[in-house]
């Protein structure tokens, strides 16, 4: 589906922004220079009649994003949590995109549920409400199970959402390809790979069976987390387009007035939401990657309830350790260590100067310390950080995009609860605990045990592999032998020797 025909989609995007008044509001909000203002509006104005009117009940920017489709709505949901970047007024306007979008007909939802469960709705549910929340990809109904009387949330995909989302992503691919072609300097940011990554992630939201599996795994990982709870999935009533979970009763985390009226301590909730995210990302490597206010509630007990598990993030153990060391270096203000970790992990090209990079990192980190959140300009900070990455030739790490994006969203949620919250002081105990668990002697023993177990599984095959490698080694050289012909045998023999050493070391450390 990708191709020049998607130019129409991009033209319609600019036309919709102009027609709804969103273009002017965006340019005013960011104080765009005169030439940029004239160029953008000059290009969009003649085509505004091609734009979508959208819902006039919405303010201009949410109106345009809602009219343009699910991928644009997702973008609006993300930036709605960052009043420090877009301003308090615009952030408040964009929150309507989280769970207050126009719903689709309840009759269509009822029909979809009946198809999914394979029996009449009334045979399973005593009650089935109209939509209680409508988001970009699905909407939620409240119901009561006939056999148990339990209140449940019934999530149903929007009709035609898969096709609509793919159409948006195709247009984004065209834009990314155009950016790479017109601006070679942008290629280090890998815009096409970035879209590949997000397309894959959000595609998981379009199959609710995957979301149910994510919810189940997340619940198992966080079962003992204090101050945190999750709804339970009813597997018997869930499928590709429908998911049923226990009803989560609580106050929306984005409603500060309601939280205050219920007697909840917003400063405590602010710290908890950030620390929970870091704990899940570092400890488990599996985290809720869509933690905006629309997906979080506070139970009467004060526990934070998370739901909507369509976008979950996963990072491997090595990457978690790198990420933790970088955070820890910032917390300790050890900028040389932060720089060294970037080089060791290959995030910065080896031919760059580590001392110079450390000084540049110091200029990013130092303004943060000793200041409360209200005095930190994250816009300026991110702008300077981008300049640093460009100057040192850092490429976008696609495996970290979701983690970085979620960190931004969670920080925005935490600051909306307590503007005075200091992210570094809040993160410190979680990161320190992870460092102790993952980089000390106990972690070494654990790593040795894992390595020994892998080698043990391949143990029966090692003699045959070594013999085959030695036979190849003994064969007479050919006319044009490859320089690396010796390497397989050498690597296998080295693996056997290292494996034996690791096995002995693991046993000595008491790993078994």
Please measure the distance between the N-terminal and C-terminal CA atoms of the chain and give it in whole angstroms.
54
Backbone torsion region of residue 333, taken as left when φ is above 0, otherwise alpha when ψ lies between -120 and 50, otherwise beta: left
88 is catalytic: no
Helices marked H in 69-160: 70-79, 83-86, 88-94, 96-99, 106-117
Of residues 84, 99, 225, 290, which has the active-site annotation? 290
Return the number of other C-beta atoms located less than 10 Å from residue 482's C-beta: 9
Instruction: Give the β-pairing of 138-145 and 228-229.
Output: unpaired
What Cα–Cα distance (Å) separates residue 426 from each residue in 83, 100, 269, 400? 20, 31, 12, 21
* Structure token digits, residue 60: 């201009």
Residues 6 or more apart whose Cβ sits within 8 Å of residue 335: 329, 358, 359, 361, 362, 365
Query: Residue 386 in 3-state DSSP?
Result: helix
- Bridge-partner residues for 141, per DSSP? 131, 154
What is the Cα–Cα distance from 228 to 301, expressed in whole angstroms?
10
Residue written as tokens 């869509």?
A: 290
* Structure token digits, residue 346: 């290959």
Dihedral over Cα of 438, 439, 442, 445: its sign: positive
Yes or no: say if 292 and 77 are a contact pair by the CB < 8 Å rule. Answer: yes
Query: Residue 154 in 3-state DSSP?
Result: strand
How many distinct helices (H) and strands (E) make up the chain? 23, 10
What is the Cα–Cα distance from 115 to 336, expressed in whole angstroms?
59
* Burial (CB count <10 Å: 0-12, 13-18, 19+), residue 295: buried
Instruction: Give the β-pairing of 125-134 and 138-145.
Output: antiparallel
Query: Which residues belong to the active site?
Result: 290
């Amino acid at each position: 589906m990708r191709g020049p025909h998607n130019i129409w989609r991009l033209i319609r995007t600019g036309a919709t922004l102009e027609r709804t008044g969103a273009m002017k509001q965006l340019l005013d909000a960011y104080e765009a220079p005169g030439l940029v203002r004239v160029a953008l509006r000059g290009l969009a104005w003649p085509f505004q009649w091609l734009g979508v009117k959208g819902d006039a009940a919405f303010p201009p920017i949410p109106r345009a994003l809602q009219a343009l489709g699910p991928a644009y709505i997702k973008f609006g949901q993300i930036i709605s949590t960052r009043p420090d970047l877009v301003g308090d007024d615009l952030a408040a306007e964009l929150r309507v995109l989280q769970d207050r979008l126009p719903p689709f007909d309840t009759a269509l939802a009822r029909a979809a549920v009946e198809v999914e469960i394979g029996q009449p709705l009334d045979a399973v549910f005593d009650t089935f409400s109209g939509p209680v929340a409508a988001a970009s990809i699905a909407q939620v109904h409240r119901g009561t199970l006939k056999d148990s009387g339990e209140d449940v949330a019934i999530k149903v995909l929007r009709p035609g959402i898969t096709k609509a989302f793919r159409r948006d992503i195709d247009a984004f691919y065209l834009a990314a390809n155009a950016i790479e072609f017109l601006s070679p300097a942008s290629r280090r940011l890998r815009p096409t790979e970035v879209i590949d990554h997000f397309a894959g992630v959000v595609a998981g939201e379009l199959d609710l069976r995957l979301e149910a599996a994510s919810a189940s795994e997340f619940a198992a990982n966080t079962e003992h987390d204090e101050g945190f709870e999750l709804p339970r999935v009813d597997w018997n009533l869930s499928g590709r387009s429908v998911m049923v979970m226990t009803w989560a009763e609580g106050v929306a985390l984005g409603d500060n007035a309601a939280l205050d009226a219920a007697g909840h301590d917003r400063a405590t909730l602010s710290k908890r939401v950030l620390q929970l995210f870091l704990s899940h990302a570092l400890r488990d490597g599996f985290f809720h990657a869509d933690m905006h206010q629309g997906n979080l509630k506070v139970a009467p007990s004060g526990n934070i309830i998370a739901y909507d598990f369509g976008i979950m993030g996963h990072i491997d153990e090595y990457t978690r350790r790198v990420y933790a060391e970088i955070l820890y270096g910032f917390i300790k203000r050890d900028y040389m260590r932060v720089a060294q970790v970037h080089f060791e992990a290959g995030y910065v090209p080896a031919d760059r100067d580590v001392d110079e990079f450390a000084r540049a990192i110091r200029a990013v980190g130092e303004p943060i310390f000793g200041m409360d959140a209200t005095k930190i300009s994250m816009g300026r900070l991110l702008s300077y950080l981008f300049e640093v990455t460009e100057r040192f030739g850092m490429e976008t790490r696609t495996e970290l995009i979701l983690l970085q994006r979620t960190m931004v969203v969670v920080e925005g949620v935490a600051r909306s609860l307590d503007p005075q919250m200091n992210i570094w002081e809040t993160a410190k105990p979680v990161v320190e605990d992870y460092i102790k668990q993952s980089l000390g002697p106990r972690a070494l023993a654990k790593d040795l045990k894992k390595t020994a177990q892998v080698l043990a599984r391949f143990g029966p095959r090692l003699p045959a592999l070594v013999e085959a490698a030695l036979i190849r080694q003994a064969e007479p050289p050919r006319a044009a032998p490859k320089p690396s012909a010796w390497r397989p045998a050498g690597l296998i023999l080295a693996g056997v020797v290292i494996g034996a050493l690791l096995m002995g070391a693991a046993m000595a450390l008491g790993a078994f």
